């Protein structure tokens, strides 16, 4: 797993690093377009290939952040699932959590899970033009066309064509179908923002409710006129919302230190 580190020159040492965990495609975040995060210490990565366990992804993430004294996990979609699994372990240095388009248990109906796992039998062309077109359809929203950065279904398919092998896709599907940390949510003891799109045909509203019910210090913001891929379609709104959450944590921390002194 390769890392990209971006830090500001002002006060970074006193601030937590914002660790941006990738979505199902495995591609690292494009931090340049997330202007709301400017001035923060940030880190992103590319997911390793062919891992069929969320716990193993969480192990790898833990290894990559072990040098950090203070950090906030920001997980997008599958990255939210990985972040959730790691946060439930109460890793040292974790001070906040942002989960967008994530879930605590497999949200897919049985037929979708079976259909996705059949991707292991798809040849190259069938995977690219069959499996990935179906997946792109699930990711898309009617709001995407008029978004800050307009996207079509084929843009999502290309994201996977360029970044996700068939074996990695199948392995990640397997990891999701076996994932369930509903009973572990009460182990998350840091402020948590559940960032929810207004329209999400892939995950659904019940997933957010489960997170809010299970995580003690959780709150939700629903971003209007957005779909599941809102990090790509609405980068300014998305990153500004994450930034506001980070700033709120810093403000609370500063107030607590002032009272203590």
Kindly report the pTM of this predicted structure. Answer: 0.89
DSSP bridge pairs for 44: 4, 20
> How sure is the predictor about 11, in pLDDT bands with cuts at 50, 70 and 90?
very low
Q: Please give the average per-residue pLDDT across 236-243, as a whole number.
A: 98
Classify 196 as helix, strand or coil. strand
Q: Please give the average per-residue pLDDT across 30-58, as a whole number.
A: 96
Q: Which residues contact 234 (CB under 8 A, 6 or more apart)?
A: 147, 148, 149, 223, 226
Calculate what percentage of the chain has a pLDDT beyond 90: 75
The pLDDT assigned to 101 comes to 93
> How sure is the predictor about 1, in pLDDT bands with cuts at 50, 70 and 90?
very low
Instruction: Find the angle CA(223)-CA(227)-CA(231) to the nearest 5 degrees.
Output: 75
User: Per-residue pLDDT for 17 more than 80?
Assistant: yes
User: Per-residue pLDDT for 246 more than 90?
Assistant: yes
> How sure is the predictor about 12, in pLDDT bands with cuts at 50, 70 and 90?
very low
The pLDDT assigned to 121 comes to 57
* pLDDT tens, position by position, 23-39: 999 999 999 999 999 99
Higher pLDDT, 260 or 50: 50
Instruction: Find the angle CA(198)-CA(175)-CA(168) to the nearest 5 degrees.
Output: 95
Mean pLDDT (the chain, rounded) = 88
The pLDDT assigned to 204 comes to 85
Tell me the HSE value of 101 on the side-chain side, using a 13 A CA sphere.
27
* pLDDT tens, position by position, 218-238: 999 999 999 999 999 999 999
- 22: tokens are 């990738």
Domains of the chain (ranges plus CATH)? Answer: 3-106+179-260 (3.40.50.1820)
The pLDDT assigned to 192 comes to 98
Tell me the HSE value of 106 on the side-chain side, using a 13 A CA sphere.
18
The DSSP element (H or E) to which 78 belongs, if any, is: helix 78-87
The pLDDT assigned to 14 comes to 55
User: Per-residue pLDDT for 155 more than 50?
Assistant: yes
* pLDDT tens, position by position, 83-133: 999 999 999 999 999 999 999 998 875 534 555 555 555 667 888 888 899
> How sure is the predictor about 251, in pLDDT bands with cuts at 50, 70 and 90?
confident
Q: Where are the beta strands (DSSP E) in 49-138?
A: 71-76, 94-100
Higher pLDDT, 116 or 81: 81
């Amino acid at each position: 797993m390769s890392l990209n580190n971006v830090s500001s020159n002002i006060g970074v040492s006193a601030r937590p690093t914002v660790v941006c965990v990738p979505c199902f495609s495995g591609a690292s975040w494009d931090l340049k377009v997330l202007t709301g995060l400017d001035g923060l210490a940030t880190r992103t990565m590319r997911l390793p290939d062919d891992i069929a366990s969320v716990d193993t992804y969480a192990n790898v993430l833990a290894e990559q952040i072990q040098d950090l004294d203070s950090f906030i996990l920001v997980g997008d979609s599958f990255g939210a699932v990985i972040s959730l699994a790691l946060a439930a372990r109460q890793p040292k240095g974790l001070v906040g959590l942002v989960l967008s388009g994530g879930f605590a248990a497999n949200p897919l109906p049985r037929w979708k899970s079976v259909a996705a796992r059949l991707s292991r039998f798809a040849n190259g062309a069938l995977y690219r033009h069959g499996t990935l077109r179906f997946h792109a359809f699930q990711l898309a929203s009617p709001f995407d066309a008029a978004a800050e950065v307009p996207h079509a279904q084929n843009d999502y398919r290309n994201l996977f064509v360029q970044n996700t092998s068939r074996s990695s896709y199948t392995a990640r599907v397997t990891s999701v179908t076996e994932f369930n940390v509903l009973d572990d949510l009460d182990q998350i003891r840091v402020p948590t923002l559940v960032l929810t799109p207004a329209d999400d045909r892939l995950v659904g509203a019940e997933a957010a409710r489960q997170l809010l019910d299970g995580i003690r210090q959780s709150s939700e913001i629903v971003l209007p006129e957005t779909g599941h891929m809102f990090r790509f379609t609405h980068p300014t709104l998305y990153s500004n919302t994450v930034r506001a959450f980070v700033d709120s944590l810093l403000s609370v921390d500063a107030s607590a230190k002032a009272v203590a002194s």
